[in-house]
Amino acid sequence: MLELADSGKDIRRVERYAMVALPRDTVVDGNIAKPEVVEAALREAWKAMATKTREVALALPAAAVITKKILLPPDASEADIETQVSAEANQMAPFPLDEVSLDYQILGPAPRNPNENEAIIVVSRRERVEERVALAEAVGLRAQIMDVDTFAALTAFEQIAFQLPDNGRNQTVAVVDIGANATHVCVVHDKQLVYQREHALGGYVLTQEIARRYDLSTDEAEDAKRKGLLPDNYESEVLQPFLDAVSLEIGRALQLFFGATSHQSVDHILLAGGCAAIPGLDDVVHSRMQTSTLIANPFAKMALSNQVKARQLAADAPALFVACGLAMRRFDAS
Ligand SMILES: Nc1ncnc2c1ncn2[C@@H]1O[C@H](COP(=O)(O)OP(=O)(O)O)[C@@H](O)[C@H]1O
Ligand SMILES: [Mg+2]
């Protein structure tokens, strides 16, 4: 949970944040398997936040939505658009329209056909939206926005673009978000999302290997991993093979991207997610991929409230990437 405030002159301020780890199997493939566990974690995070703000933006996982870009004639009326959107949504959704949550956004002139407008339609099972809203409400929060995690990552990317040559213009950037159980790869070209895919590799594999090797419980292994309190042979015998596996998977992800699109290279790899904090990951990825590699810090240009410790935030920043994109949304503008 992350709260951002306006600090004037287009500067945002990080007010406060709280992180509570969910046990494995709480959320499986983006589905909330144990709502009561999520509710307890939300309550704990909300309490730690100690804020008056109750309005929240949430996200669905990309796996829970179907998206499609459509072209609209420039003179389409609102009614025309609604008609076209619901006809398309009917085709997209593999279930009845009354079980669907639907939204669309006009993106602007179509890149290949500037005489027409491009719009993106997003559909999801209504239940997926409602269960998340219900969890927020159960702990006293008011869900104002339901975003999609990939789109939120793209919003957070605005805070990274200026760190790239030429503000990211004409650059192709692979955003690699390595979480506990999965790695989400999205590729952004010229600040537009051009590709995304999920890979089944995450930090839990490393935790398990630590637990097995040093005869620890999963919780002890997780703690030791984060604190770096492990025997001398950890780096060479446990960590290095994991970093190699991650690099290999990133290489595979990029090959799939090249195969699926007309792109043949990426200019930068941006590491996000909790695992981006693993010491040395960026160096290994950089040397294996021979590609400029950065660790995502979407707060680099933001002010910090006096409750936020800069050093801790720097360590947590990659894991807060999607949360940052959500907190950047504005309730009044939509
Ligand atoms: N300082 C750290 N060192 C090593 N691994 C870390 C560190 N901080 C978080 N992680 C790992 O990152 C993963 C969680 O990433 P996160 O993006 O928060 O999860 P998810 O998005 O999957 O919920 C876990 O496997 C955790 O062990
Ligand atoms: Mg994450």
- Ligand nearest to the Cα of 29, by number: 1
How many angstroms is it from 291 CA to the middle of ligand 2?
A: 23
pLDDT of residue 180: 93
Residue owning tokens 């940052």: 324
Q: What is the pTM assigned to this prediction?
A: 0.93
pLDDT score recorded for residue 30: 81
**For atom 3 of ligand 1, which residue has the closest CA?**
226
| pLDDT over 80 at 217, yes or no | yes
Asked if pLDDT for residue 1 goes beyond 90, the answer is: yes
From the centroid of its chain, how far is CA 97? 28
The better pLDDT of the pair 30, 199 is held by 199
- Contact between 315 and 18 under an 8 Å Cβ cutoff? The reply is no
Q: What is the pLDDT of residue 332?
A: 64
177 touches 272 (CB < 8 A): yes
Look up residue 22 and give its DSSP letter. Answer: P
- pLDDT over 90 for what percent of the chain? 81
Please indicate whether residue 211, judged by its CB atom, sits closer than 6 Å to ligand 1: no
Q: Which of 199, 225, 243 for mutating ligand 1's site (highest number of atoms within 8 Å of CB)?
A: 225
Three state DSSP letters for 276-310? HHCCCHHHHHHHHHCCEEEECCCCCCCEECCCCCH
- For the chain, the average pLDDT equals 93
Q: How far apart are CA 89 and CA 282, in angstroms?
A: 41
Burial status of residue 135 (CB atoms within 10 A of its CB: 0-12, 13-18, 19 or more): buried
pLDDT tens, residue by residue, 58-115: 999 999 999 999 999 888 898 999 999 999 998 988 888 889 999 999 988 888 888 8
CA pair distance 309, 318, nearest whole angstrom: 15
Share of the chain above pLDDT 70, in %: 99
More confident of the two residues 152 and 168: 152
Residue 96: the pLDDT is 87
- Cα 275 to ligand 1 centre (Å): 5
* Token pair for 174: 């692979």
Closest residue (by CA) to atom 27 of ligand 1? 203
Name which residue leads in pLDDT, 146 or 29.
146
Confirm or reject: Cβ of 61 under 6 Å from ligand 1.
no
Look at residue 76 in the predicted model and tell me its pLDDT.
Answer: 87
The pLDDT score that the predictor gives to residue 274 is: 96
Ligand 1 within 6 A of CB of 225: yes
pLDDT tens digits for range 9-44: 889 999 999 999 998 899 988 889 999 999 999 999
Residue 262: exposure state from Cβ atoms within 10 A (0-12, 13-18, ≥19): exposed
Indicate if the pLDDT at residue 333 is higher than 60.
no
- Average pLDDT of the segment spanning 302-320: 95
Neighbours of ion ligand 2 (CB under 5 A): 179, 273
Cα distance between residue 167 and residue 258, in whole Å = 23
The packing angle between helices 204-214 and 240-260, to 10°, is: 160
The residues, ordered by sequence, that sit 6+ positions from 217 with a Cβ below 8 Å of its Cβ are: 211
pLDDT tens track for 128-143: 999 999 999 999 999 9
Q: Cβ(10)–Cβ(316) under 8 Å?
A: no
Name the more confident of 173 and 165.
Answer: 173
pLDDT given for residue 334 in this prediction:
42
- pLDDT at 171 > cutoff 80: yes
Distance 223 CA to ligand 1 centre (A): 11
Whole-number Å distance, alpha carbon 319 to ligand 1 midpoint, is 7
